[in-house]
Amino acid sequence: MKEFDRESLKEFNGKDGKPVYIAHQGRVIDVTASKFWKTGQHMKRHPSGTDLTTEIEAAPHGPEVLDRYPQVGVLKKKEESTRPMPQWLAGLLDRFPLLRRHPHPMVVHFPIVFSFSAVLFTFLYLITGYTPFETTALHCLGGGILFAPVAILTGYFTWWLNYLAKPMRAVAVKIRFSVLLLGFSILAFVYRVLNPEILVSLSGGSVLYLLLVFSLIPIVAVIGWFGATLTFPVEKN
């Protein structure tokens, strides 16, 4: 049976009338005849010409659908470019594979929601004058300060482990904006704690404080957007 490596498999991506091949657990399958693969991409998401062994785990069907189509070859085993790491960490990741990729996407929600909430409650205070909203905004700023470092650490970890710490524009932007996020949140928090009346009587200081707080939304949006371009690359057309 024909042997493919990852490079030669890429050719069979359905473009310009080429056949549509996909790989699953070492088998290369020809799905050219399927109406679900005729564009070379399945469900606007899964590219042909690649190994989709992991991706099918998230599908609403099992791998038995692959048996509807003929196997045309086998896929050579990947020469893994694995990241060298201490024995204890390799053991831990083998025992709990979930720790490989999940921690960052799991914890990022916390600084995102705390930052958005700090802005929302500040805004609510400004339009209603209801003091508890302002106190809640301060607490949300505090929550963001507690969780941003957790997101930053897990972000570095996932980049180091899964992207082999390769220099990437998206990560470079995220690192800079994460410093801004943490810096601005701490500045706003300390400023507000030292000046509890900062929003009661508006002054130049209040404007600075509001700018710091409101800037958290664009900062968090940039960090999240560049993160998501890595997990869900944007379709070109």
CB of 76 to ligand HEM, least distance (A): 18
Q: Using the rule CB under 6 A, is 40 a contact of ligand HEM?
A: no
Q: Using the rule CB under 6 A, is 119 a contact of ligand HEM?
A: no
d(CA 105, CA 129): 36
Report the amino acid identity of residue 159. W
Residue pair 110/143 in contact (Cβ under 8 Å)? The answer is: yes
Tally the residues of the chain.
Answer: 237
Q: Which span (53-61, 91-99, 126-134, 200-208) binds ligand HEM, by CB under 6 A?
A: 53-61
Q: Using the rule CB under 6 A, is 4 a contact of ligand HEM?
A: no
CB of 72 to ligand HEM, least distance (A): 13
Of these, 19, 27, 34, 126, which contacts ligand HEM (CB under 6 A)?
A: 34
Q: Using the rule CB under 6 A, is 217 a contact of ligand HEM?
A: no
- From the list 25, 27, 21, the residue with the least C-alpha distance to 9 is 21
Of these, 19, 27, 74, 105, which contacts ligand HEM (CB under 6 A)?
A: 105
Q: Which span (63-71, 75-83, 85-93, 197-205) binds ligand HEM, by CB under 6 A?
A: 63-71
d(CA 237, CA 234): 9
Q: Using the rule CB under 6 A, is 223 a contact of ligand HEM?
A: yes
Q: Using the rule CB under 6 A, is 161 a contact of ligand HEM?
A: no
Q: Which span (52-60, 77-85, 87-95, 187-195) binds ligand HEM, by CB under 6 A?
A: 52-60
Burial per residue of 201-229, b for 16 or more beta-carbon CB atoms within 10 angstroms, e otherwise: eeeeebeebbebbebbeebbebbbebbee
- From the list 54, 16, 14, 17, the residue with the least C-alpha distance to 36 is 14
Of these, 118, 119, 145, 148, which contacts ligand HEM (CB under 6 A)?
A: 148
Q: Using the rule CB under 6 A, is 14 a contact of ligand HEM?
A: no
Kindly state the number of chain residues that form the binding site for ligand HEM, as judged by CB under 6 A: 48
> Which two structure tokens, joined as six digits, stand for 3?
């042997």
Q: Give CB contacts under 8 A, 24+ apart, made by 226-234.
A: 226/170, 226/171, 226/173, 226/174, 226/177, 227/104, 227/108, 227/155, 227/170, 227/174, 229/170, 230/163, 230/168, 230/170, 230/171, 231/105
- From the list 81, 76, 70, the residue with the least C-alpha distance to 8 is 76
Residues that bind ligand HEM (CB under 6 A): 22, 24, 31, 34-36, 42-43, 45-46, 52, 55-56, 58-61, 65-66, 68-69, 101, 104-105, 108, 111-112, 148, 151-152, 155-156, 158-159, 163, 171, 174-175, 178, 181, 220, 223-224, 227-228, 230-232
